[in-house]
Structure 1
């Protein structure tokens, strides 16, 4: 095995683990017998506790040496993350795992529109991707109109979850100019947990008294999607392109739908499936189009 192949194997394994971890997120949320906002609080609070010894240990100098600007963007990203969890996670419990996962996956499209509003115009391919994704989202949501008003509400919440995820990412890009992944996520998760705690207390939601299966699901969310999935994607980004990671991240949607079907008996609604497929195709076209327009001129000395 040559050096290049040996370097690829850990990356492939990391991406495989990451996709499996994030694919389990929506089914675990649907399975847990607890309020969605309470689950969101616990997954962020627990992740914050796990990351605290690292932030105040090996990364202590980085945290205290960072500028106020970087920390402010980290805090604002945490606010956006709280809004993301407060919209998307209830959508999973109100609707179907397959549709909710697909609609929140429109995040890159919303990021592109944010960039366009800031004066960075998407490429023609990216606009085509946006059009396909919007058409797919409209198709999937339209199919749910015949199901129930609750299903439509779930779709709207999932779309809002994608919007807030895009805002979270845009703010995070500003914070990450100075902060590494661990320090940045510690700030985000901590702020997010505090906001969600206040919301849960104000709404009178139960934060405890769950059965063992629910606590196991919450632990699975913390270890899987919150810590392991994020960490593995971050590792992969050091060895492969962001475009590859973004496109592979879309595998979460069919993965989550398959898990929900096998484990929870949630058979995907046939009427919504063409819309979901169109949506995912649009997001993939957008990601590839955006990457191509941002790619510098090819250096003939670089390998393909």
Structure 2
């Protein structure tokens, strides 16, 4: 069942890039609306069936929830900013460093990764490099963009690591509602400060925003939030690397274009790295869900 959910999550996040690219609206505003709409849809369930769990969190739980929501918002802001300053290939490759940041965060917490986990992660990152064709430029703008993409990967790592801790005591619905709500508020402030318009677009743009919310947010990130209770943040981060070939496959399907051979080679490398890390984690210790949804 978890394999099926992981596949759904990958397909969901893979649709994000092509849909956001086709939406005639500021990307930061799209990020706000996808989180805000998802929060609104979850509210009736979260504030009725899960209200006691949400309000009954201790200080540590709220702190971790705020960190996860803020990290998700920062990830969106950095990712969007990097795409305007550097190449999509470079930004994609650098934000994928998320998995190495997760390993580093675990090491700081006293949980050293095995050689197999590090090796499998590096193998998967080679797959991302093969697909994206990393092209790092030395211009001032490109260097700043590369830095933002790298920061986006760091914030994504913080998001899944903190989320995994919250999911130890909070259900998927309760955590997702809290995280998306905090993220929405931060993105709203960012949009207002930056002068990003939050409306005035065509009906087609709004339909595409709803499509992004359903696919990337509800079927993508929300399922990922569920998987954080049954998979390690490293494995979840590796799953997210499949967004790179996934987005390429979706774009190729819509544009009726043939994919270059490095894309297929990259997919094999990512899946190989994922298999190595999953097997290593399985030998180390099984991760069991602590909270029922």
* Consecutive unaligned residues in structure 1, runs of 5 or more: 1-7, 297-304
**Residues 191, 126 of structure 1: alpha-carbon distance in 2 compared, 3 angstrom cutoff:** same
**Contact 1:84–1:160 (8 Å) recurs in 2:** yes
1:72 aligns with 2:63: yes
Residues 157/146 of structure 1: CA separation in 2 closer, same or farther (3 Å cut): closer
Q: Distance in 1 between matches of 2:158 and 2:264?
A: 28
Instruction: Pick the aligned partner of 1:295 from 279, 285, 288.
Output: 285
Q: Residue 71 and residue 235 in structure 1: after superposition, are their counterparts in 2 closer, same or farther (change >3 A)? A: closer
Q: Matched residue of 1:66: which SS? A: coil
CA contact (8 A) 1:23 1:255 kept: yes
Over 3 Å counting, the alpha-carbon distance change for 1:162 and 1:45 in structure 2 is same
Matched residue, 2:291: none
Greater Cα shift, 185-194 or 273-282: 273-282
Deviates more, 1:49-58 or 1:99-108: 99-108
Q: 2:250 maps to what in 1?
A: 259
Q: Could you tell me the TM-score, scaled by structure 1's length?
A: 0.76
125-134 or 162-171, which deviates more: 125-134
State the superposition RMSD in angstroms: 3.8
Task: State the partner residue of 1:21.
Answer: 12
- From the superposition, tell whether residues 38 and 280 of structure 1 become closer, same or farther in structure 2 (CA, over 3 Å): same
Q: CA deviation at 1:52?
A: 1.2
What's the counterpart of residue 112 of structure 1? 103
Mark the CA change 1:269 to 1:292 in structure 2 (over 3 Å): closer, same or farther.
Answer: same
Question: CA shift at 1:294, angstroms?
Answer: 2.2
The 2-side partners of 1:207 and 1:114 are apart by: 35
Question: For 2:135, what is the secondary structure of its paired residue?
Answer: helix
- How far apart are the structure 2 equivalents of 1:148 and 1:139? 23
Change (3 A) 1:154 1:108: same
Counterpart CA distance in 2 for 1:264 and 1:148 is: 31
Displacement of 1:156 in angstroms is 4.0
* Secondary structure of residue in 1 paired with 2:209: helix
Please name the residue that 1:175 is paired with: 166
- Cα distance, 1:295 vs structure 2: 2.9
Cα distance in 2 for residues equivalent to 1:169 and 1:96: 25
Instruction: Flag structure 2 segments of 5+ consecutive residues without an equivalent.
Output: 287-293
2:17 pairs with 1:41: no
Aligned pair 1:201/2:192, yes or no? yes
Instruction: Tell me which residue corresponds to 2:155.
Output: 164
* 2:180 aligned partner: 189
Change (3 A) 1:234 1:253: same
Counterpart Cα distance in 2 of 1:59 and 1:35:
33
Aligned pair count reads 285
Question: How do 1:115-154 residues align onto structure 2 when only pairs under 5 Å count?
Answer: 115-132=106-123, 143-145=134-136, 154=145
Distance 1:269 1:99 in 2: 18
CA offsets 1:54-107 (integer angstroms, 9 cap, x no match): 121111121122212212211111111111111124445666666655543432
Q: Which residue of 2 is the match for residue 87 of structure 1?
A: 78
Counterpart selection for 1:211 from 168, 184, 202: 202
Q: Is the CA contact 1:108–1:283 (under 8 Å) kept in the aligned structure 2?
A: no
How far 1:260 sits from its partner (Å)? 2.5
Question: Is the deviation greater in 183-192 or in 119-128?
Answer: 119-128
